[in-house]
Structure 1
Amino acid sequence: MIVVSNASPLLALAQADSLHVLKALFGRVLIPAAVFRETVDQCPVPAQQRRIQSACDDFIAVATPTITHSFSRNLGQGEQGVLALALERRADLLLMDDKKARNEAAALGLQCAFTTDVLRLAEQRGIIASVAEIVAGLREARIYLPFGAGQHRGSH
């Protein structure tokens, strides 16, 4: 399975010290260089930066798309890189929370998952004990995740 991630899922999972979820679920995750810059080189939170760098040394691979693509929406470099890499590598899944980028991905026929979808799957498979605990901890850190399909704000 080819999985490409945007910055927000990496930052949220790093904050929750749960990046291992990605390795357990997908084995390997691809990110474009722009996402590496956002999450490691430019990350203002040292703990997140260290955790993501460590994951890059282990199971996250940085790849540069060789194709250029014009997108219909105004997207950041990270989102453009994720979408271009996903198109080039024929990714099975994109991990992203940004609504505009998800809409662009859908228009391109790409499958997306929210960070909360990944956490829910990890809980179902026994990789983590509780999605609710992780989401609550992220809220305490002022990180608010959009809810994926089948989730409601009141349930967490």
Structure 2
Amino acid sequence: MSDARPPLPPFTRETAIRKVRAAEDGWNGRDPHKVALAYTPDSRWRNRSAIFSGRPAIVAFLTEKWAREHEYRLIKELWAFTENRIAVRFAYEFHDAAGAWFRAYGNENWEFDANGLMQVRHASINDLAITESERLFRWDAPGPRPDDHPGLTDLGL
């Protein structure tokens, strides 16, 4: 179990919430190689219209994503869970190379192996153009969202 990523399934509400926050923190660190280690070597993804599998593809996808999504900040929230599956809703903010700001809203369905590595990830995402003054996710980045920063429900999202 050297590759184990606690918390491990079967999930309770508490461990599912911890798993979601760990994923959020990892993605906010914006290190594609480190993030990819949370997934099985053959993890299968659907992200918007992109479908791919494997850690090398995850690293390539995240490298390109964070090269074009500047000042990326993400908040995830538990939606539902079962023994080895978790559903989350999320929102993230970023700006493009031209300086235009966006908030992306989405849902993810995750399935984990016995070691707590994500083996399946399905993400549906929509982007909404926002102004800089409409931004709600303001903390030093890259890095985790501070514990005292509101979550999605508290922000009315």
TM-score with structure 1 setting the length: 0.26
Q: Looking at secondary structure, tell me which structure has more helix per residue.
A: 1
Name the structure with the higher strand share.
Answer: 2
TM-score when normalising by structure 2: 0.25
